[in-house]
Structure 1
Amino acid sequence: MNKQRTGFTLIELLVTLGILGLMITALFSFFIGNVDFFKITSDNIDIQQHGQFCMNYIVDEIIVTRDIKSNIPLNESNYSVDKKNIKSILFKITSDEQLLELEEGVFYNYTGFKYDNDCVYQIFYLDNKKIDKEFSIANYVNNINYEFIFIESKITGVRINLTLIKGDKQKNIENQVKFRNINCKD
């Protein structure tokens, strides 16, 4: 009685499972590496996007500055303002006769920026009165620094330095703004 056997032997199945296990391990390590790379790339893109938007927004707002109000002295020996004093600087962005409308019936002529809990906010003033509105501009901001530029004791511009951090990634973004309409002297 000669029976023909069909199917696989136990050794054939074990060898096949071993080879399959090695292939799956290699495949998973490839996917895990790609997920880590995606997270790193995503963090870099987030930091770059928030930083560039924040910098462009600040520059667009303050380039038309007509005057600067500060409760700290701004002169050639004290020209740097960091995140501790950032709320102390207000930029007048309209002429004396003109006001900007924030929303219906709410007007402003000074704007500034404040730093709080890794976020930059725009703040608004009508002359010396703070308007109870502020807008979040960007996240991941760890530090913001102004360095005012003087020519013949007159403020003519500002260097802005933003430091952004997300996870273990850090990015510095710098820009220099020349004021178009400044009337301020110290």
Structure 2
Amino acid sequence: MVVRKEEGFTLIELIVTLAILGVVLSIYSSLYYSGYMSFQSTENSVDVEQNVRFAMNYIIAQLDKGPDEVVIINGGRGLEINWKDSNSNVVKSIIIKFDEKKHALYLDDNKGHELATKIYDFKVTQKGPYMINVYIKGQRNDRGLNEFSLSNDFFLRKSDVSAK
């Protein structure tokens, strides 16, 4: 009698292998998903912070140029920066406005090109005859996630500060 050795897998071996493979794949997919969500959250935080910092740096750069007049507009929700010639005529003017519905800062009423997005609060307040405070708060969405804010006091060396 000849004994033949059959090669292959039994049904129990296949079931055990598939069960182990299923556990490994579920662990891998949950780790991948949590890593992806962490990446998205970090990316959104960086995006919000970058928008707020860019807007503040732009305002700082404009105010460092030594404007002749700074006007707080829209009840502190906007800023007008004017340079004048020797006859007190406005030569150059920059207007920064906050749109609460679209959560953006606009430059010179150009609604197609935002200065910064994901901005949820923008306030300009006069702190003295030659001093203003600019406050900018950004966040990812209406639920307040990834909130970041900056506040800066500006001493305007030769500028007149007024409010409209």
Match of 2:131 among 149, 153, 157: 157
Per-residue deviation, 1:97: 5.7
Distance across 2 between alignment mates of 1:53 and 1:26:
40
Paired position in structure 1 for 2:126: 148
State the SS of the aligned residue for 1:58.
helix
CA contact (8 A) 1:62 1:93 kept: no
What per-residue deviation string (whole Å, max 9, x for no partner) do you get for residues 153-184 of structure 1?
xx212111001121322211111211132245
Match of 2:153 among 176, 182, 185: 176
Structure 1 alignment gaps of length 5 or more: 73-80, 100-106, 124-131
Paired position in structure 2 for 1:109: 92
Q: Cα–Cα, structure 1 residues 179 and 142, in superposed 2: closer, same or farther, change >3 Å?
A: same
Q: Cα–Cα, structure 1 residues 26 and 98, in superposed 2: closer, same or farther, change >3 Å?
A: farther
Q: How many residues align?
A: 155
State the SS of the aligned residue for 1:161.
strand
Coordinate RMSD, CA, aligned: 2.6
Per-residue deviation, 1:98: 9.2
How do 1:7-22 and structure 2 match up within 5 A? 7-22=8-23
Paired residue type of 1:143: D
Q: Cα–Cα, structure 1 residues 96 and 144, in superposed 2: closer, same or farther, change >3 Å?
A: farther
Paired position in structure 1 for 2:67: 65
Q: Cα–Cα, structure 1 residues 169 and 121, in superposed 2: closer, same or farther, change >3 Å?
A: same
Quick check: which one's strand share is greater? 1
Per-residue deviation, 1:145: 0.3
Paired residue type of 2:36: V
Structure 2 alignment gaps of length 5 or more: none
Quick check: which one's helix share is greater? 2
Paired position in structure 1 for 2:39: 38
State the SS of the aligned residue for 1:166.
coil
Per-residue deviation, 1:90: 2.2
Distance across 1 between alignment mates of 2:110 and 2:34:
45
CA contact (8 A) 1:161 1:175 kept: yes
CA contact (8 A) 1:50 1:138 kept: yes
